[in-house]
């Protein structure tokens, strides 16, 4: 495995791609540490330090800070990160199967996809404008988000000009980061947008490890927890087990056997037996993102409703029992919603029929569509249950075992799913470059085990 990393540097093309990707990663990390114009860095640093020491920063704020790579704490130019583009992409993916015009564009090939990509960028600008305005207003008055008021103002200068300038800077930074992500996809290694998010998450890993060290040394942390070395060892074992289970979820699939009619084209014979992979986690990380976003909106609105009933408030308090129950139900519902929008058994059965392929024991046409729909529904249920457990597990660690949210976020949820998925995809691309030039891959057999067709 270590020889594979050495071999990557021997291939000129691959080495250039890696250096190009690394250069853009460095740029994104700089953007996460440059404060927006008008922000008082000393006042902001003192305010954030006070929130951390008192434990009033809030689990939700810590979770958002993880995805921004620490930019939220600095209120840096990359505070919004690349998440507005992700939000816009998700909205477009949901609208494409339901809006006839978008569905027609998708079927037109490259030209249609370029149009949809252009619409996605326009929608990204609207999302940036909304989120940037909310972030700027929150900096002027953090108490609107339920945070303590700062002892000294966090901004200097005219407030109106600060809001306008902040919205422009944050929007421009997001669009530049989106463009850099596309450059990684075209000229580097891996999916650029996903890779930037992963780098932001990993950037918070040293701080999480330092929290673990503090707990193991019996030093008091912001969560009030301290662990013995044995407990720390158990926690690391749990992390390894959860990571392994997440990899199994990401790679797990049911293979539907497909028999194709043999056709002779010149001296070659096409057809024979193959299979159709139905992924256990077909929806990926999207249900967790949808559920979290849906619960965050009422939670922010309830901050302005001081006389709201207690049971309603608890439903939107991050980490509460009512929140976890609502969160789990929404994940289950959004999983089926995403699969229903993205997986079309009728179209698949028609394509199989046109190609002269069929599932052994199942008649072509409607029976094939019903079989695929039934099979996918059962697989989706198992995947949705695992997603629910994976999303709720970090909250349980924080509430029951007093593990800091910064640490618990690496034990499941969106962070772990994104890291596992992006790392596997990037390793697959690296391995393809190695095998094309007759180098061994990351395993002795030359292929990632989860990617082999026969395993």
Render pLDDT for 115-131 as a digit per residue (tens, 0 to 9): 998 999 999 999 999 88
Render pLDDT for 358-369 as a digit per residue (tens, 0 to 9): 899 899 889 999
Domain ranges of the chain: 13-203, 232-411
Give me the pLDDT at residue 354, please: 87
Q: How much is the mean pLDDT over the chain?
A: 82
Indicate the burial class of 334 (C-beta count within 10 angstroms; 0-12, 13-18, 19 or more). buried
Give me the pLDDT at residue 455, please: 39
Render pLDDT for 135-185 as a digit per residue (tens, 0 to 9): 888 888 877 666 777 888 888 888 899 999 999 999 999 999 999 999 998
If you ran DSSP here, which 8-state letter would residue 145 be given? G
Q: Which is nearest to 83 in space by CA: 146, 127, 51?
A: 127
Split at pLDDT 50, 70, 90, the class of 357 is confident
Angle at 237 between CA 234 and CA 240, to 5 degrees: 155
Which residues lie closer than 8 Å to 173 by C-beta, 6 or more apart? 31, 77, 78, 79, 80
Q: What is the mean pLDDT of residues 32-51?
A: 85
Split at pLDDT 50, 70, 90, the class of 24 is very high
Q: Do the first three CATH levels of 13-203 and 232-411 match, i.e. the same topology?
A: yes
Give me the pLDDT at residue 454, please: 40
- Measured distance CA(198)–CA(346) in Å, rounded: 36
Indicate the burial class of 409 (C-beta count within 10 angstroms; 0-12, 13-18, 19 or more). buried
pLDDT at 300 over 60: yes
Predicted TM-score (pTM) of the model is 0.79
- Measured distance CA(346)–CA(349) in Å, rounded: 5
Q: Which is nearest to 288 in space by CA: 321, 238, 334?
A: 334
Instruction: List the structure tokens of 287.
Output: 């249900």
273: left (phi over 0), alpha (psi -120 to 50) or beta: beta
Question: Are 82 and 177 in contact, with CB atoms under 8 Å apart?
Answer: yes
Q: Which is nearest to 451 in space by CA: 432, 435, 428?
A: 428
Give me the pLDDT at residue 100, please: 86
Instruction: List the structure tokens of 332.
Output: 């289950």
If you ran DSSP here, which 8-state letter would residue 293 be given? H
Give me the pLDDT at residue 219, please: 55
Other residues' Cβ atoms within 10 Å of the Cβ of residue 382:
14
First-to-final CA distance of the chain? 20
Render pLDDT for 209-255 as a digit per residue (tens, 0 to 9): 887 777 777 655 555 556 777 778 888 899 899 999 998 888 889 99
Instruction: List the structure tokens of 109.
Output: 């090939």
- Helix 83-95 and helix 192-203: axis angle, to 10°? 140
Render pLDDT for 308-332 as a digit per residue (tens, 0 to 9): 666 677 777 777 888 889 889 999 9
Q: Report the CATH fold assignment for 232-411.
A: Preprotein translocase SecY subunit (1.10.3370)
pLDDT at 196 over 60: yes
Give me the pLDDT at residue 232, please: 80
**Neighbouring-strand partners of residue 253:** 279
Give me the pLDDT at residue 453, please: 41
Between these two residues, 266 and 454, which has the higher pLDDT value?
266
Give me the pLDDT at residue 241, please: 92
- Measured distance CA(156)–CA(175) in Å, rounded: 26
Per CATH, the number for 13-203 is 1.10.3370.10
């Amino acid at each position: 495995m270590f020889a594979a990393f050495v071999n990557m540097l021997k291939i000129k093309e691959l080495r250039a791609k890696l250096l190009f990707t690394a250069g853009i990663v460095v740029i994104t990390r700089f953007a996460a540490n440059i404060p927006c114009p008008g922000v008082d860095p000393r006042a902001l640093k003192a305010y954030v330090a006070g929130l951390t020491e008192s434990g009033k920063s809030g689990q939700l704020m810590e979770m958002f800070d993880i995805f921004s790579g620490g930019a939220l704490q600095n209120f840096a130019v990359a505070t919004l990160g690349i998440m507005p583009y992700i939000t816009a992409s998700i909205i477009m993916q949901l609208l494409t199967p339901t809006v006839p015009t978008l569905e027609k564009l998708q079927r037109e090939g490259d030209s249609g996809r370029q149009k949809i990509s252009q619409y996605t960028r326009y929608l990204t600008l609207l999302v940036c404008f909304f989120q940037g305005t909310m972030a700027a207003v929150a900096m002027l008055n953090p108490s609107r988000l339920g945070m303590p008021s700062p002892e000294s103002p966090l901004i200097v200068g005219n407030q109106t000009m600060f809001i306008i300038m902040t919205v422009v800077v944050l929007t421009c930074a997001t669009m530049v980061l989106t463009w850099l992500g596309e450059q990684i996809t075209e000229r580097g290694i891996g999916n650029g947008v996903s890779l930037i998010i992963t780098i932001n998450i990993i950037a918070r890993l040293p701080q999480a490890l330092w929290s673990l060290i503090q707990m193991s040394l019996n030093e008091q942390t912001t969560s009030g927890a301290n662990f013995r070395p044995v407990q720390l060892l158990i926690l690391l074992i749990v992390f390894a087990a959860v990571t392994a289970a997440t990899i199994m979820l990401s790679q797990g699939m049911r293979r539907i056997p497909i028999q194709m009619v043999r056709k002779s084209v010149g001296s070659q014979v096409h057809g024979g037996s193959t299979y159709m992979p139905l992924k256990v986690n077909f929806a990926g990380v999207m249900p967790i993102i949808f559920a979290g976003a849906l619960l965050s909106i009422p939670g922010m609105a309830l901050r302005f409703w001081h006389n709201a009933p207690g049971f309603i408030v608890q439903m939107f308090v991050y980490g509460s029992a009512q929140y976890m129950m609502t969160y789990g139900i929404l994940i289950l519902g959004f999983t089926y919603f995403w699969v229903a929008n993205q997986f079309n058994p009728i179209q698949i059965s028609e394509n199989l029929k046109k190609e002269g392929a069929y599932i052994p024991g199942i008649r072509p046409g409607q029976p094939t569509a019903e079989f695929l729909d039934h099979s996918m529904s059962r697989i989706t249920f198992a995947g949705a249950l695992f997603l629910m457990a994976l999303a709720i597990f970090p909250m349980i660690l924080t509430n029951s075992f007093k593990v800091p949210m910064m640490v618990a976020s690496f034990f499941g949820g969106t962070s772990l799913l994104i890291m596992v998925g992006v790392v596997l995809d990037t390793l697959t691309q690296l391995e393809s470059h190695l095998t094309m030039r007759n180098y061994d891959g990351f395993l002795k057999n030359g292929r990632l085990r989860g990617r082999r067709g026969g395993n």
